[in-house]
Structure 1
């Protein structure tokens, strides 16, 4: 059962991510602020920092698979989340090689990862003319609230899964 922990939690987060907006107060949901939950990405960032070592890329494979599932379930453009999540996790994996794994580092990487992913999604959706939001409006009305909401989720998720993910990574590396 241990080896299925990451996949099952990603699947659970995929389902919960779709219900995230219904968990917020209606005054926040119906405001001008747009928040996009990137819960799978947040969890995969924790996996990248604490599970993968320098020469394993499990989180990238999970990002490809669950990004594709996100595309199939929630978007009309296939491959956008799949490519975005995989690229962001790959970049974070490379940055993680330079840094020591702790809460502060994971928090910084989470901010960078969510900002990068959401910006890439904005650029792609602007390019294919799905969104017509101006850059400054995007930053103020979508990027900053998305970063804040996802960092709250990171702060809640981190103590719940960090030790479990780290221990699973140690087991894989020792075998």
Structure 2
């Protein structure tokens, strides 16, 4: 049995989970004198990379587990990310069957999935009355900055995760 496969990927998932929580505390303060929100969705980026370079079925299991743990730990409502994370993996798998597997297209899939996640979460909170933020304010103060933060994370981790995923997939 390959120990890197058994231990490596769960450790990466746990590290990204913790990094997302720490980053959300770091980026919760206002920057540039305005109230802008930088929301890290590093787990989304990791799941897109796993779905692209690793195995869809294993990534779906990670998506369900991480979604449940994310909902329990970070949100007060069970089920939002539990549904969104597997949806992201499924859509990524379908996109990558049609698109070529290169860094630019994977980056565009990451951007699409971050936008989808943010819009679904925003829509859900508007639906239940958890926020009264207008759509224009949401796009201006939260969506664009969130896309930039997660794209920067993508470019920082795409090659190590790609290399690690391909190594353990081949063994």
TM-score, normalisation: structure 1: 0.89
Query: Map of 1:60-139 to 2, 5 A cutoff?
Result: 60-139=60-139
In structure 2, C-alpha distance between the alignment counterparts of 1:31 and 1:114, rounded to whole Å? 22
Check 1:26–1:76 CA distance in 2 against 1; reply closer, same or farther (3 A cut).
closer
TM-superposed deviation, 1:6: 1.8
Matched-pair contact (CA < 8 Å) for 1:89–1:113: no
Check 1:25–1:132 CA distance in 2 against 1; reply closer, same or farther (3 A cut).
closer
> How many correspondences in the alignment?
168
In structure 1, C-alpha distance between the alignment counterparts of 2:170 and 2:98, rounded to whole Å? 19
In structure 2, C-alpha distance between the alignment counterparts of 1:89 and 1:131, rounded to whole Å? 27
Residue deviations 1:69-126, cap 9 Å, x none?
Answer: 1111111001111101111221111111111212112111111111111111111111
- The answer to whether the aligner puts 1:35 opposite 2:26 as a matched pair is no
In structure 2, C-alpha distance between the alignment counterparts of 1:164 and 1:128, rounded to whole Å? 41
TM-score, normalisation: structure 2: 0.90
Matched-pair contact (CA < 8 Å) for 1:80–1:121: yes
Structure 2: give runs of 5+ residues left out of the alignment: none
- The answer to whether the aligner puts 1:156 opposite 2:159 as a matched pair is no
Matched-pair contact (CA < 8 Å) for 1:51–1:170: no
Structure 1: give runs of 5+ residues left out of the alignment: none
- The answer to whether the aligner puts 1:51 opposite 2:64 as a matched pair is no
In structure 2, C-alpha distance between the alignment counterparts of 1:74 and 1:102, rounded to whole Å? 33
RMSD of the alignment, in Å? Answer: 1.8
